[in-house]
Amino acid sequence: MWLYLAALLGFYFLRRWYRERQTVDKLTEKYVFITGCDSGFGNQLARQLDARGMRVLAACFTQKGAELLERATSERLKTTILDVTSTESIAAATEWVKGCTDKKGLWGLVNNAGILYPIGPNEWMTKADFAKVLEVNLLGPIDVTLHLLPLVRKAQGRVVNVSSIAGRFAYCGGGYSPSKFGLEAFSDTLRRDLRPFGVSVSIIEPSGFNTKINEDASGSFGNVWSKLPAEIRELYGEKYFRNISKTFFGAKWEKKNLSLVTDCMEHALTACYPRSRYAVGWDAKLVYIPLSYLPASIVDYIVTYGSPKPDKALY
């Protein structure tokens, strides 16, 4: 019996390995629109796809980011300026994409633009702090997708949403995890909606170790602390603040290999049989995802074990 089971599993993984290596034909004729190309994942993916000969339409937040990307790539790559929190900006970018793609439609839409901050204990946040992150990470991708969906459907293409392992397992307060949980839900329902039209939807889930901390982030976290009411700062204490700062902005958060993420994004765009989800990194597969299935009481104990406690903590 065990031999048959092993053979069945072996056949399953061999079949999966074979299917995932089948690529789409005529990739050099495919247009891909990527948001958030100033730096990070979006910037590297744009370069990666351009090197492969694809028609990259890169949306940057700043003119400087667009100019630097153009200098580093071929003439095939085109750039535009996009603010995903502005419907007017998205509408303008949509018209630009229509002009670039002509009658071919849009093969790939990559919703990559996103922000992490502000994060920290929820009590330290304001409604505006939450709204800032949700506008970029959740409502922005939804708005971009709704505008460009007719072009993607026309090409029977792909939508790739860059979520996070924090969309399955919340490990910090603030708007980041809520935005990623929401993006996962949007992606799941969108995938079912678009399946009858031949459009696939994939979710990329980098872990925290695939996320580079901005140099100014630690300073902005200090600003959050300095603006708190005196009674809140006294309740948590200066030592707690310093320890939390190390947790969120320590060296262990520095990115090791961007290609771990961009290779998954490229596969979702170029494979004949893309996955619905790409959990990136062994830490995501072996730590965070298993944790997300454990009972809450066990997860709470594991996550908070050895963590710093506020000065006025009761337990």
Domain ranges of the chain: 27-212+256-292
pTM (2 d.p.): 0.89
Helix (H) or strand (E) holding 10: helix 2-19
Q: Is the pLDDT of residue 307 over 90?
A: no
CATH 3.40.50.720 given to domain 27-212+256-292: yes
Indicate which residue of 31, 176, 236, 278 is catalytic: 176
The number of beta carbons lying within 10 Å of the beta carbon of residue 14 is 10
| The pLDDT of residue 221 | 67
Asked if 175 and 218 count as a contact pair (C-beta separation under 8 A), the reply is no
Lowest mean pLDDT among 71-75, 236-240, 306-310: 306-310
Burial 116-138 (b: 16+ CB within 10 A, else e): bbbbbbeebbeeebbebbbbbbb
Instruction: With cut-offs at 50, 70 and 90, classify the pLDDT of residue 167.
Output: very high
Paired tokens of 114? 């996103």
CB 140 within 8 A of CB 186: no
DSSP at 23: B
**Mean pLDDT of the 158-171 span:** 93
Can you tell me the distance from the alpha carbon of 127 to that of 131, in angstroms, rounded to the nearest whole number?
Answer: 6
105-112: average pLDDT:
97
Is 176 catalytic? The answer is yes
Segment 75-83 mean pLDDT: 96
The CA-based angle 117-90-86, given to 5 degrees, is: 50
Which residues, 6 or more positions from 296, have their beta carbon under 8 angstroms from its beta carbon? none
